[in-house]
């Protein structure tokens, strides 16, 4: 069983870290979240390994822990600094880092369930039914939370609202 858990950690820790980073907004908190998630998963690994989808179970542990942290920080009334609306030029690697930081900060402004739905859809590439099963909500709730979350992100980051050049060309005949 121990080797199964080690194989799981080796295979999935990078994906868990990406999701944790987007949920928490910074590297240190994401590392702590992944570590705590894996610690809890290790303690229950025999039960988790027997499930149909152990990764979904571990992801659920991570989301619940992130929710707990968010509630704790929300009580502290932590506010983030406003970001400028500058967008990076193509090929500008430093500008791309700024854009990613701006996106993570915008995600932090979303309510936790909405943020979780957006992260699971776009960072873990899960379907509505998979997200609904992970979070214990209906697929229609997933779709409404996703639509509202994307709309709020577009309001916070206007560059997300502008159509891409490829999309624009597709509409011209």
Query: SS3 breakdown of the chain: % helix, strand, coil, rounded to 5?
Result: 75, 0, 25
Element containing residue 34 per DSSP (H, E): helix 27-43
pLDDT at 172 over 80: no
CA distance 80 to 83: 9
The pLDDT of residue 159: 65
Phi, psi of 137 (to 5 degrees): -125, 175
58 token code pair: 């571990």
The pLDDT of residue 72: 63
Q: In which band, very low, low, confident or very high, does the pLDDT at 67 lie, cut at 50, 70 and 90?
A: confident
Taking only the tens place, the pLDDT of each residue in 126-166 is 899 999 988 889 999 999 999 999 999 888 887 655 554 44
The pLDDT of residue 157: 80
HSE toward the beta carbon, residue 158, CA cutoff 13 A:
5
pLDDT at 54 over 50: yes
Taking only the tens place, the pLDDT of each residue in 17-34 is 998 888 888 899 899 999
Q: In which band, very low, low, confident or very high, does the pLDDT at 73 lie, cut at 50, 70 and 90?
A: low
- Inter-residue contact 152 to 110 (CB < 8 Å): yes
pLDDT at 76 over 80: no
End-to-end CA distance of the chain: 59
- For the segment 6-23, the average pLDDT, to the nearest whole number, is 91
Taking only the tens place, the pLDDT of each residue in 88-109 is 445 544 444 556 777 888 888 8
The pLDDT of residue 82: 38
Can you give the C-alpha Rg of the chain in angstroms? 18
The pLDDT of residue 163: 53
pLDDT at 173 over 70: no
The pLDDT of residue 101: 75
């Amino acid at each position: 069983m121990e080797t199964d858990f080690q194989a799981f950690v080796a295979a999935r820790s990078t994906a868990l870290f990406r999701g944790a980073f987007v949920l928490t907004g910074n590297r240190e908190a994401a590392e702590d979240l992944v570590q705590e998630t894996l610690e809890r998963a290790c303690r229950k690994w025999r039960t988790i390994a027997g499930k149909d989808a152990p990764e979904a179970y571990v992801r659920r542990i991570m989301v619940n822990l992130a929710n707990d942290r968010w509630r704790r920080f929300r009580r502290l009334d932590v506010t983030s600094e406003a970001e400028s609306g500058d967008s990076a030029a193509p090929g500008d690697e430093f500008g791309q880092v700024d854009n990613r930081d701006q996106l993570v900060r915008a995600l932090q402004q979303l309510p936790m369930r909405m943020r979780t739905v957006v992260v699971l859809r776009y960072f873990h590439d899960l379907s509505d039914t998979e997200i609904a099963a992970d979070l214990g909500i209906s697929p229609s709730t997933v779709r409404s939370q996703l639509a509202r979350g994307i709309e709020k992100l577009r309001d916070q980051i206007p560059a997300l609202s502008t159509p891409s050049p490829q999309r624009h060309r597709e509409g011209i005949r």
